[in-house]
Amino acid sequence: MRLQQFLARAGIASRRKAEDLIRSGRVSINNQVAGIGAVVRTGDIVRLDGERVRMPQKKVVIALHKPKGYTTTHEDEHAEKLVYELVPKHPGLHSVGRLDKDTEGLLLLTTDGHLTQLLTHPSNQVPKLYRAWCKGGRVGKEVCQQLVQGVMLGDGLARALAAQPLKDGVKLTMAEGRKREVRRMLRKVGYPVERLVRLAVGPIELGELEVGQWRYLTPEEIKLLYASAGLPRLGKAAQPQQPAAISAQAPARRQHKTSPGRSNTKPKPPKPPQAQARAPKGGVESSSERLSTRKRQSTTQRGPNRRTHPRTGRADKT
Claim to verify: residue 163 and residue 239 sit in the same structural domain: yes
Whether the per-residue pLDDT at 287 is higher than 80: the answer is no
For 183-216, what is each residue's pLDDT tens digit? Answer: 999 999 999 999 999 999 999 999 999 999 999 9
SS3 145: helix
Q: Has residue 15 been placed in a domain?
A: yes
Claim to verify: residue 32 and residue 162 sit in the same structural domain: no
Claim to verify: residue 47 and residue 87 sit in the same structural domain: no
143: pLDDT confidence band, cut at 50, 70 and 90?
A: very high
Claim to verify: residue 113 and residue 191 sit in the same structural domain: yes
Q: Has residue 283 been placed in a domain?
A: no
Whether the per-residue pLDDT at 92 is higher than 60: the answer is yes
Q: Which one of the listed residues 100, 102, 112, 316 is annotated catalytic?
A: 100
Claim to verify: residue 114 and residue 11 sit in the same structural domain: no
SS3 241: coil
Output the pLDDT for position 241: 40
Residue span of the structural domain in which 177 resides: 61-247
Claim to verify: residue 116 and residue 154 sit in the same structural domain: yes
Is 108 within 8 Å of 215 (Cβ atoms)?
no
Q: Has residue 218 been placed in a domain?
A: yes
Q: Has residue 294 been placed in a domain?
A: no
Active site residue 100: yes
- Stated as kind and residue range, the H or E segment containing 173 is strand 169-174
272: pLDDT confidence band, cut at 50, 70 and 90?
A: low
Whether the per-residue pLDDT at 281 is higher than 80: the answer is no
For 8-40, what is each residue's pLDDT tens digit? Answer: 777 787 778 889 999 999 999 999 999 998 999
Q: How do beta strands 204-205 and 169-174 pair? A: unpaired
Q: Which of 247, 278, 295 is the last residue of a domain?
A: 247
AA identity, residue 121: H
- The stretch 246-258 carries a mean pLDDT of 50
Claim to verify: residue 216 and residue 71 sit in the same structural domain: yes
Claim to verify: residue 32 and residue 125 sit in the same structural domain: no
Distances (CA, A) of 84 to 88, 210, 250: 8, 17, 40
Kindly report the pTM of this predicted structure: 0.61
Claim to verify: residue 36 and residue 102 sit in the same structural domain: no
Q: Has residue 92 been placed in a domain?
A: yes
* Domains: count for the chain: 2
SS3 197: strand
Claim to verify: residue 176 and residue 121 sit in the same structural domain: yes
Average pLDDT, the chain: 79
Q: Has residue 207 been placed in a domain?
A: yes
Supply φ then ψ for residue 29, to 5 degrees. Answer: -125, 120
Residue 21: CATH number of its domain: 3.10.290.10
Q: How far apart are CA 47 and CA 28, in angstroms?
A: 5
Claim to verify: residue 214 and residue 230 sit in the same structural domain: yes
Q: Has residue 232 been placed in a domain?
A: yes
Q: Has residue 186 been placed in a domain?
A: yes
Q: Which of 226, 247, 268 is the last residue of a domain?
A: 247
Claim to verify: residue 84 and residue 216 sit in the same structural domain: yes
Q: Which of 219, 247, 275 is the last residue of a domain?
A: 247
